């Protein structure tokens, strides 16, 4: 670029970044302070004692639960989504766009609204467990997943598929060798959204998980506010950091894909 | 796209149909549950007690109560303020400014700012609520930096300015999404168009306002659609920070719905609230979709 940003802009941006991360200071100072009191203060000594507490016993179990729910939901959503979105993108099914948008709008129903019938259905079919949470979250995710994946498949030029067919490729080969690799960025975005969505989900597991063994971290953290009388800030802050880490980590793993993938979100209605 | 005669598709219709089956089943389930949520809004179903088993149809009574009893209209107003300031003004404008400013900067600065903003977005709702409660309480960061050193008494922001604080927390958390979307949109504006405008003597402001903004208009509409709806029904952050309080100051519709349904156990009335929310959101979406479709 010939017109670099003025120095002033750069300083303003740096300032902004500092403001943005400043709330984390409290989280870090307390998590690494074994004698934490929940105040914003420089620790007398740093230590990892809090993290030790936050990975053992119940807390470790909750981490595993969250991982199962999030990875399960993301993978199920993407697999179900792909196998339906490809036909939706390629076959001229009348009214498919209107249908997908209607579904997305329907999903705007606050999830507390569909929670009640969902709960009754899960109770009847014995799915008040992690599998139930995974299926329920996939159901709730699917309209977005379908719409986004269909939009990404629409951007794969059909000429490539024609050429492959002429060369003798089967439908399966066309999909696995051409369509999927070319929409890799989009699939990564959808997987990531489903993963973080399920990882963060609070309300659904709160109502589905009946025993403490089945709590994911979101419910565990909420429940730990004010447990055993006094709040143990050191434990809570360390637990928060561990809870936040995977979503942040997955994002940075997929970052390159994400930025390309985002371009597809707004392109077509 | 004309693709009537694509032999690899037409000869495999059965396989493609089978592929759509799982999604069709799940979508069917979603429609079924939604239909029940609608049906409940005409009943006096309760979470516990006698009416959880022997509920009856009460017609439009729940919907009348939306307007005759205190709560719904107040919550609607709180929600409108919250959505307008946190999503439309805060996240969109800030996200766009950042995207436009960072576009020309060198990559290190861009990465650093991006990462900082993303951290807020990636943080789970419950953690963000925890963090902001701590930052805005009497011993928190804001008091420690801006209030106490100047000799003022520490202010309990989360209690005294609950709605603004929740709004700021939501801007902090959500701006990354708008930023990413606008950033991708601006990248799709071809460099030649911008260069041409520059040659014709357009100022930087004109280049953004008259050239780039009209081109990315569909992205703006999509972004508005998504963030308005998300913010409208957003629940965990506010609930974990304030629980709707103090009093009902931060009771947005989503919190009101939860309190009515699961704290008071009025599932029927709760369903009526969610139907009303759906209608409002649907109307808003139609407006945005028109914005999206118009220029062709």
| CATH number of the domain to which A67 belongs | 1.10.3720.10
Average pLDDT over residues B107-116: 85
* Residues in CB range of A82: below 8 A, 6 or more apart: A149, A180, A187
Instruction: Report the CATH number of the B77-250 domain.
Output: 1.10.3720.10
Q: Which pLDDT belongs to residue A119?
A: 81
CB-closest option in B1, B45, B124 to A218 = B124
Domain limits for position A204: 58-265
Structure tokens, B129: 């609520």
Band of residue A257 on the pLDDT scale cut at 50, 70, 90: low
Q: Which DSSP letter does residue B260 get?
A: I
Q: What DSSP assignment string belongs to B62-96?
A: HHHHHHHSSSHHHHHHHHHHHIIIIIIIIIIIHHH
Average pLDDT, chain B: 84
Structural domain boundaries of chain B?
77-250
**Pair A65, A189: CB distance under 8 Å:** no
Pick the more confident residue, B49 or B2. Answer: B49
Q: Say if the Cβ atoms of B23 and A174 lie within 8 Å.
A: no
Residue A186 lies in a domain: yes
Residue A45 lies in a domain: no
CB-closest option in A113, A142, A263 to B184 = A263
Average pLDDT over residues A219-225: 80
Crossing angle of helices B13-40 and A96-106, rounded to 10°: 40
- Chain A residue nearest residue B12, CA to CA: A171
Residue B9 touches chain A, beta carbons under 8 Å: yes
Cα–Cα distances (Å) from A131 to A46, A127, A137, A138, in that order, read 40, 7, 10, 11
pLDDT of B283 strictly over 80: yes
**Pair B30, A135: CB distance under 8 Å:** no
- The question of ipTM being above 0.90 is answered as no
Q: Which pLDDT belongs to residue A266?
A: 46
Band of residue A150 on the pLDDT scale cut at 50, 70, 90: confident
Residue A27 lies in a domain: no
The Cα of B193 is separated from the nearest Cα of chain A by a number of Å equal to 15
How many domains is chain A partitioned into structurally? 1
Per-residue model confidence as pLDDT tens digits over B169-185? 999 999 988 998 888 88
pLDDT of B166 strictly over 90: yes
Residue whose C-alpha is closest to residue B269's, from B64, B77, B79: B64
Residue A4 lies in a domain: no
CB-closest option in B26, B122, B184 to A138 = B26
Residue A225 Ramachandran class (φ > 0 left, ψ -120 to 50 alpha, else beta): beta
All residues of chain A having their beta carbon less than 8 Å from the beta carbon of residue B147 are: none
**Pair A90, B4: CB distance under 8 Å:** no
Residue B164 touches chain A, beta carbons under 8 Å: no
Q: Say if the Cβ atoms of B126 and A199 lie within 8 Å.
A: no
Burial of A27 (0-12, 13-18, 19+ CB in 10 A): buried
Residue A107 lies in a domain: yes
Residue A154 touches chain B, beta carbons under 8 Å: yes
Band of residue A215 on the pLDDT scale cut at 50, 70, 90: confident
Q: Which helix (H) or strand (E) is B45 found in, with range?
A: none
**Can you tell me the distance from the alpha carbon of B172 to that of B267, in angstroms, rounded to the nearest whole number?**
33
**Pair A199, B124: CB distance under 8 Å:** yes
Q: Say if the Cβ atoms of A161 and B134 lie within 8 Å.
A: no
Average pLDDT over residues A36-64: 78
Structure tokens, B154: 């520490």
- Chain A residue nearest residue B261, CA to CA: A112
Structure tokens, B226: 């998504």
Per-residue model confidence as pLDDT tens digits over A75-86? 999 999 999 988
Residue A54 touches chain B, beta carbons under 8 Å: no
Average pLDDT over residues B239-257: 86
Average pLDDT over residues A163-178: 82
CB-closest option in A40, A258, A265 to B144 = A40
pLDDT of B84 strictly over 90: yes
- Chain A residue nearest residue B14, CA to CA: A87
Residue A210 lies in a domain: yes
Residue A249 touches chain B, beta carbons under 8 Å: no
Residue A134 lies in a domain: yes
For chain B, percent of residues with pLDDT exceeding 90? 11
**Pair B58, B268: CB distance under 8 Å:** yes
Band of residue A2 on the pLDDT scale cut at 50, 70, 90: very low
Q: Which pLDDT belongs to residue A226?
A: 52
pLDDT of A72 strictly over 90: yes
């Amino acid at each position: 670029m010939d017109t670099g940003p003025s120095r002033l802009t750069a300083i303003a941006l740096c300032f902004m970044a500092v403001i943005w991360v400043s709330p984390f200071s409290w989280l870090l100072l307390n998590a690494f302070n074994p004698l934490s009191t929940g105040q914003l203060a420089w620790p007398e000594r740093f230590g990892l004692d809090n993290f030790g507490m936050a990975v053992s016993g119940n807390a470790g179990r909750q981490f595993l639960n969250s991982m199962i729910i999030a990875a399960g939901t993301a993978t199920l959503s993407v697999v179900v989504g792909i196998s339906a979105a490809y036909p939706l993108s390629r076959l001229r099914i009348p009214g498919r766009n209107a249908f997908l948008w209607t579904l997305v709008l329907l999903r705007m129903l606050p999830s507390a609204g569909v929670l009640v019938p969902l709960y009754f259905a899960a109770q009847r079919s014995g799915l008040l467990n992690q599998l139930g949470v995974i299926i329920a979250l996939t159901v709730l995710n699917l309209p977005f997943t379908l719409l986004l994946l269909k939009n990404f498949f629409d951007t794969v030029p059909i000429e490539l598929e024609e050429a492959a067919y002429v060369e003798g490729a089967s439908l399966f080969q066309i999909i696995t060798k051409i369509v999927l690799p070319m929409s890799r960025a989009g699939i990564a975005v959808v997987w990531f959204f489903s993963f973080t969505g399920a990882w963060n989900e609070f309300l659904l597991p709160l109502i589905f998980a009946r025993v403490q063994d089945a709590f994911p971290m979101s419910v565990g953290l909420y429940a730990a506010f004010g447990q055993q009388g006094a709040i143990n800030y050191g434990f809570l802050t360390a637990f928060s950091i561990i809870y936040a880490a995977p979503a942040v980590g997955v994002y940075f793993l997929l970052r390159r894909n994400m930025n390309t993938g985002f371009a597809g979100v707004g392109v077509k209605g | 796209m004309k693709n009537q005669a694509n032999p690899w598709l037409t000869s495999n219709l059965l396989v493609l149909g089978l592929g759509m089956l799982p999604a069709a089943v799940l979508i069917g389930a979603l429609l079924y549950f939604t239909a029940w949520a609608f049906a409940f809004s005409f009943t006096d179903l309760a979470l516990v007690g006698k009416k959880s088993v022997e509920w009856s149809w009460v017609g439009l009574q729940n919907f009348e109560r939306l307007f005759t009893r205190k709560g719904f209209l107040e919550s609607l107003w709180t929600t409108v303020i919250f959505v307008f300031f946190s999503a439309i003004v805060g996240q969109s404008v800030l996200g766009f400014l950042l995207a436009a400013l960072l576009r020309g900067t060198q990559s290190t600065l861009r990465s650093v700012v991006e990462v900082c903003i993303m951290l807020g977005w990636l943080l789970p709702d419950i953690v963000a609520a925890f963090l902001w409660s701590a930052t805005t309480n009497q011993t928190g960061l804001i008091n420690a930096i801006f209030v106490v050193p100047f000799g003022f008494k520490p202010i309990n922001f989360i209690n005294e300015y609950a709605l603004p604080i929740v709004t700021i927390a939501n801007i902090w958390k959500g701006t990354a999404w708008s930023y990413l979307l606008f950033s991708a949109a601006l990248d799709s504006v071809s460099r030649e168009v911008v260069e041409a405008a520059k040659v014709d003597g357009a100022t930087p402001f004109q280049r953004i306002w008259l050239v780039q903004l009209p081109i990315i208009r569909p992205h703006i509409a999509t972004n508005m659609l998504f963030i308005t709806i998300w913010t409208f029904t957003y629940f965990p952050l506010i609930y974990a920070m304030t629980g709707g309080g103090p009093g009902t100051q931060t009771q947005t519709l989503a919190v009101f719905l939860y309190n009515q349904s699961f704290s008071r156990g009025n599932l029927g009335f709760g369903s009526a609230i969610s139907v009303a929310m759906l209608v409002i959101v649907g109307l808003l979406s139609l407006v945005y979709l028109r914005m999206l479709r118009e220029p062709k």
